[in-house]
Every structure is written in C-alpha cells, then in structure tokens.
Amino acid sequence: MARDVPNERLRGPRRVGVLALQGDFREHLAALRACEVEGVPIRLASDLDAVDALVLPGGESTTMARLMEPELKASIQHRSAAGMPVMGTCAGMILMSRDIQGGRADQEPLKLMDIGVRRNAYGRQIDSFEAVVESPAIGGAGPAVFIRAPQVTERAPDVQELASHAGQTVAVKQGNRLALAFHPELTADRRWHQYFLTLDGEDR
Ligand code: GLN
C-alpha cells in the first residue's frame, strides 16, 4: 500500500543512547551531534526507554561492566534481542562479545554478538597507534585510532567482517550490531557513525 507519510524507521534511529558511565562517551555524543542526531547519555535502565539505538563507548570495559546496574544490562540485552541497533567501540566491542580473553574473572560480557575477543591484544610496544582502515561500510579508507585495543579471536559464521588491519579483523557486524576495535569517535571522520545510523531497527 502506498504511504504518503514517510516511515520514520526507514530513516534510521533519531535518538541514540550513549552509555555514559565511564570512557569517551562525550566524544560519541559530539559525533552524533555532527551527524544531526540527538545523543542521549544512558546511566540507568529507565534512560534506555527514550532511545532507539545505543552506543557503547571506548574506555575501560572492566569499569563499565562494574558500574552498570543489573537492570541496565538486562534491558540492553532485551532491547538488542528485539532489534535495537547497537555499536560498540574498543571497550564497547569487549562488552558486546560473548567471550573475553584477558578479562577479569568477574567480568561478564553482555553477549550481544557471537564473537570472542582478547583484551589489550597489541602488547605494550604498540599499545596505541593510528592506522588507515578500509571498509565498504564507509565507502573506502578512513583513519582509525587504536588504544589498548582488543582483537577478535573468533566469530560465528553470520558475523560479517567489515574491515581488517594487519591481518586482524577490526570491524564486525551481526544483524544490527556493529563492533569496532578502534575509536571512530576520536577522529573527525563521521562515516562509521553515519554507517551505524543506517542500520534499521527491524533489520536483523
Ligand atoms: N583495554 C580497554 C579494555 O579492556 C579498552 C581500551 C579502549 O577502549 N581504548 O576495556
């Protein structure tokens, strides 16, 4: 049936939550503003009701996992399973994983994606670097900042690799869930955020 009212959903999320307990959530909120989307800091489970997508920022995954109230964890898992788009960057990727190597014994991931990760996988010598990463998701090459980044050690067959760097998978997508080992929020290039905003709440 023809519609004369544009379908909001087709235009992607309009209010995007950013987990704001620790880490570089302010940079993600600024990146969303630059994409002309309203970013909403998320601290409590009830905050999640106001958004239709979620970003898990970079920072310290052990700290974020500890600061998240159990209701918020459950609510993120529930909304993600129902189709809400979620993007995790660096520590956010670790939170989204199913399995963590090098995590703390009490560090339970959210298990939003069927990936295994190893924390701080680049070692001390090269623990932070900037690289050029190429991906069809951003229509070519772009800058990527890696800071004590995780590596993807395994992924299920339906987890798609969107980018690799030096033989390592650094960007993955599974349905509406996107995880990046690097920090797009720390560069001026907004194409990873724009790509995330194209993920539709019903497309899984
Ligand atoms: N090494 C951090 C962790 O394990 C992630 C680093 C980052 O987000 N830049 O959580």
Q: Is the CB of residue 58 below 6 angstroms from any atom belonging to ligand 1? A: yes
pTM: 0.92
CA 150 – CA 36 distance, rounded (Å): 30
Q: Is the CB of residue 90 below 6 angstroms from any atom belonging to ligand 1? A: yes
Q: Is the CB of residue 73 below 6 angstroms from any atom belonging to ligand 1? A: no
**Could you tell me the pLDDT band of residue 26, with boundaries at 50, 70 and 90?**
very high
Q: Is the CB of residue 89 below 6 angstroms from any atom belonging to ligand 1? A: no
Task: Report, at the CATH architecture level, how domain 14-196 is classified.
Answer: 3-Layer(aba) Sandwich (3.40)
CA 91 – CA 183 distance, rounded (Å): 10
C-alpha closest to that of 172 among 162, 164, 182? 162
The structural domains of the chain, with segments of one domain joined by +, span 14-196
SS3 of 90-114: the string is CHHHHHHCCEEECCCCCCCCCCCCC
Cα-to-centroid distance, 5 and ligand 1 (Å): 43
**Could you tell me the pLDDT band of residue 149, with boundaries at 50, 70 and 90?**
very high
Residues forming the active site: 90, 183, 185
Tens of pLDDT, residues 107-144: 889 999 999 999 999 887 778 999 999 999 999 999 99
Top mutation candidate among 18, 60, 89 for ligand 1, by most atoms within 8 Å of CB: 60
C-alpha closest to that of 190 among 33, 84, 14, 22? 33
Tens of pLDDT, residues 188-200: 999 999 999 999 7
